[in-house]
Amino acid sequence: MSQRKAPSDAGRATIRDVAERAGVSVASVSRVLSGNYPVSDELRRRVMKVVRDLDYVTNAHARSLAGGGTPTVAILINNITGAAFAHVAKGVEGAATLRGWLSLVGTTGDDPERELALVNLMRQQGVAAVVLLGGAYDYDEYQLRMARFARSLDAAGSHLVLVGRPPLEGDVPATTVDYDNESGAYAMASHLLSAGHRKILVLPGHAELTTARSRLNGARRAFEAYGVPFDPGMVRHGPYDYEHGYEAVETSLREGVDFTAVLAGTDVVAAGAMQALRAAGLRVPEDVSIVGYDDIPLASQLTPQLTTVHVPYEEMGRVALRAVADRREGGPGRRRSADGEHLVLGTHVVVRNSVAPPARRD
Amino acid sequence: MSQRKAPSDAGRATIRDVAERAGVSVASVSRVLSGNYPVSDELRRRVMKVVRDLDYVTNAHARSLAGGGTPTVAILINNITGAAFAHVAKGVEGAATLRGWLSLVGTTGDDPERELALVNLMRQQGVAAVVLLGGAYDYDEYQLRMARFARSLDAAGSHLVLVGRPPLEGDVPATTVDYDNESGAYAMASHLLSAGHRKILVLPGHAELTTARSRLNGARRAFEAYGVPFDPGMVRHGPYDYEHGYEAVETSLREGVDFTAVLAGTDVVAAGAMQALRAAGLRVPEDVSIVGYDDIPLASQLTPQLTTVHVPYEEMGRVALRAVADRREGGPGRRRSADGEHLVLGTHVVVRNSVAPPARRD
DNA sequence: GCCGGTGGCGAAACCGTATCCCATGGTTAC
DNA sequence: GTAACCATGGGATACGGTTTCGCCACCGGC
């Protein structure tokens, strides 16, 4: 009675239960299920019947332990509710599913502590790769931290992928999938400048965020190219959210800052800015033009529809997964060849209705 | 040389490597790491040093097999980019993290095939619970399908949780976390009716979607309560997306349908409707009023800000996780007591600026 | 009629960790 | 002074699979 386990016990059925009930060996059941070894039709039929009767599924943990197992990719993200990140996640998840891979998600909430804990957790899980999403706060410690992650994962047979942030310095075993952030900002700013705008309020994001820096740099280069002096006083840093956009514009208006256009760091910031302008009785784009960045669905749902920079988020996700899958399937032969690989995708301006020539001053 | 494994092999370090290098037994290393057994300081020090040197982490699969292991909850979702679902996911993930649980996500893309595959995959993973998110298409087969999932998971020691859809019929081992969908719709429709609107265009969503049905029912009840005849001709079904909202309004306008307000099934649909009205030269809310449902961030970012029904998505996620955690920790004693548990959270109308009394007809 | 294949299947050795059981040495109690 | 005990540490086993190895029966060829 207390042999090892009652066959009809509470927990899930094991391969042994199936074997016993079908009157075959455990090995045979395993072979029927994995299908990588010749088995007679008779045996297959018998086993499959029992499998259906018992509603048996193999234990993934045991399978992983024994060598097999489905590869898993972990997606680490600041905030799961961000639209841009959701699209990257969609790309990763979709591509993973396509190959039968599994995906885990974890949110870091911008907490380095938690990020470390998650990376370790994923290492325990033996994931094929850890995909870190979104811009980084480039403090001094950052490079060291990431390098440590990369080496740690690499030593464990896993791999670090950075999506949406610049590549690491030095010889670090990590893959980077990035987009041409600075060129996008350059093009976007040029668009405003060529429409005649000269007094432009710039809301690039947090000063330490790599993404914000690139966008600011791109804008600055555009100003230079147009021979327009870049006024640091027209730059307002802050988080990538609606409230920041709103407050930055509201404050600027109250302080009497003179501007005819707003160059927002993201579409969401642009939405906030637009609302603040409207609240102050200003029309978009007749009185003030606005542009965003990201081209999330919101951009085309605003009124007026937002001129912005398209970033191929979903594709970045797909590319990221493909990179790790290739590397894994490439085998030992070319395993090392792609270290520090850096993929860059293009961006382009999407012209909609939020930009007009500056209003004539009276 | 080819003993069992070179200690400094490529793959990750095992507990045996640590034990050997520290000159202690495997059992001792395990005890130091799990900390549930007395060990001398000297031994702890020795082991921890080697753990750091080797950057060792325990193998989660082996750990799960051996009985320990961190519980995992799986989130299954139609489309990861939907804002409402993202918030539920955030709630689940946040609550999971709080207890040291892990979360997996999978997207079904509205494909029953894929849903089945995912449920089985999660069963293999031995997840503590599978959380199914979002409204369901209530075809005949649906109830049977879900009941099968529920029993299957239950038999494997897991549990099915339905979030945002009505409870299953009969005695099925599944937990439901729902919100008062119909009352929300009732209140929202009442809001329009009490403002004086009588000709209301209704865009409830897909006819077979449980969510859409409830919302439509709530609206119909409100019409009855106000003694206003409900005209089925004013109802346009369609997907919960921006395009549908846009097209439904555009078509209605072209066909000369007479309406002074739009009752949209979701905020995103409302956004599309708003854009279409504006494109036709109509003002919101002066000419036509609009209300939405969900209260996602977009609602307050539109111009005018959208009056809508608040749904506590994130809390639903938290509640869902708490339910499964309680059930699991409740142990055998009360394990069965909560079968078919059904939790309902409240909704309420959020009044903003998209509703005005109907314009006087001339 | 004997022998070498070959196709199918079972037995057993792992995979990496947690834990039960037992051995040991030093203490405390009588 | 001896028995009983506590604090630690090691050895063995179980968890549920996969895979290697070897056995057996059956086959055709000589």
Q: Contacts of residue A83 in chain B, CB cutoff 8 Å?
A: 81, 83
The answer to whether B272 contacts A89, with C-beta atoms less than 8 Å apart, is: no
- Of the candidates B202, B196, B81, B68, which has an alpha carbon nearest to the alpha carbon of residue B134? B81
- A23 near B CB under 8 A: no
Q: In this structure, is the CB of residue B36 within 7 Å of any atom belonging to strand C?
A: yes
Instruction: Band the pLDDT of B1: cuts 50, 70, 90.
Output: very low
Strand D CB shell (< 7 Å): A 4-5, 11-16, 26-27, 29-31, 33-34, 36-37, 56, 58-59, 62-63, 65-68; B 23-28, 38-40, 42-43, 62, 65-67
Distance CA A48, CA A33 (A): 8
Q: Contacts of residue B61 in chain A, CB cutoff 8 Å?
A: 60-62, 64-65, 69, 125-126
In total, the C-beta contacts within 8 angstroms joining chain A to chain B are 152
Say which residue, B100 or A181, is predicted with more confidence. Answer: A181
The CA-CA-CA angle for residues A145, A148, A150, to 5°, reads: 110
Which tokens belong to B77? 């979702």
Mean pLDDT of B315-337: 78
The shortest C-alpha distance from B332 to chain A (Å) reads 11
- What is residue A339's predicted lDDT score, i.e. its pLDDT? 67
Instruction: Band the pLDDT of B361: cuts 50, 70, 90.
Output: low
pLDDT beyond 90 at B138 = no
Which tokens belong to A57? 């599924």
The answer to whether A80 contacts B93, with C-beta atoms less than 8 Å apart, is: yes
Which of A 110-139 lie inside 8 A of B, CB atoms? 114, 120-121, 123-126
The answer to whether B107 contacts A87, with C-beta atoms less than 8 Å apart, is: no
pLDDT beyond 90 at B316 = yes
The answer to whether B271 contacts A301, with C-beta atoms less than 8 Å apart, is: yes
Instruction: Band the pLDDT of B79: cuts 50, 70, 90.
Output: confident
Q: Contacts of residue B83 in chain A, CB cutoff 8 Å?
A: 81, 83
Q: Which residues of chain A have pLDDT under 70?
A: 1-10, 330-339, 360-362
- B91 near A CB under 8 A: no
Q: In this structure, is the CB of residue B30 within 7 Å of any atom belonging to strand C?
A: yes
- B152 near A CB under 8 A: yes
E strand or H helix at B94: helix B83-98
E strand or H helix at A350: strand A348-350
- What is residue A29's predicted lDDT score, i.e. its pLDDT? 96
Q: Contacts of residue B268 in chain A, CB cutoff 8 Å?
A: 301
Torsion of CA B2, B3, B6, B11, to 10 degrees: 90
- B301 near A CB under 8 A: yes
Q: Pick the range with the lowest mean pLDDT from A208-217, B132-141, B268-277.
A: B132-141
pLDDT tens, residue by residue, A35-71: 888 899 999 999 999 999 999 999 999 999 998 788 9
- Do B185 and B219 contact (CB within 8 A), yes or no? yes
Q: How far, CA to CA in Å, does B211 sit from each of A176, B93, B181?
A: 41, 23, 7
Say which residue, B111 or B277, is predicted with more confidence. Answer: B277
The shortest C-alpha distance from A36 to chain B (Å) reads 19
Positions of E strands within B117-244: 129-133, 160-163, 174-179, 200-205, 235-237
Which tokens belong to A106? 């974890």
Q: Which of A65, A89, A114 sits opposite B80 (nearest CB)?
A: A89
| Angle between the N-to-C axes of helices A26-34 and A15-22, in degrees from 0 to 180, rounded to the nearest 10 | 110
- What is residue B200's predicted lDDT score, i.e. its pLDDT? 98
The shortest C-alpha distance from B286 to chain A (Å) reads 16
- A278 near B CB under 8 A: yes
E strand or H helix at A342: strand A342-345
- Do A179 and A134 contact (CB within 8 A), yes or no? no
Mean pLDDT of B206-222: 96
Radius of gyration from C-alpha coordinates of chain B: 27
A180 contact partners, CB below 8 Å, separation of at least 6: A344, A345, A346, A347
Distance CA A107, CA A92 (A): 15
Residue A305: burial class (beta carbons within 10 Å; 0-12, 13-18, 19+):
middle
Largest CA distance in chain B: 96
pLDDT beyond 90 at B81 = no
- B351 near A CB under 8 A: no
- Mark residues 163-202 of chain B whose C-beta is closer than 7 A to nucleic acid strand C: none
Instruction: Band the pLDDT of B2: cuts 50, 70, 90.
Output: very low
Q: Which DSSP string corresponds to A124-140?
A: HHT-SEEEEES--B--H
- What is residue A303's predicted lDDT score, i.e. its pLDDT? 87
DSSP-derived 3-state class of residue B165: coil
- Do B158 and B126 contact (CB within 8 A), yes or no? yes
E strand or H helix at A102: strand A102-107
Distance CA A133, CA A164 (A): 6
By C-alpha distance, the chain B residue nearest A301 is B271
Q: Contacts of residue A17 in chain B, CB cutoff 8 Å?
A: none
In angstroms, the CA of B120 and the C1' of C21 are apart by: 38
pTM of the predicted model as reported, rounded to 2 decimal places: 0.90
pLDDT tens, residue by residue, B159-188: 999 999 999 999 999 999 999 999 999 999
Other beta carbons within 10 Å of B63: 17
Torsion of CA A240, A244, A248, A250, to 10 degrees: 150
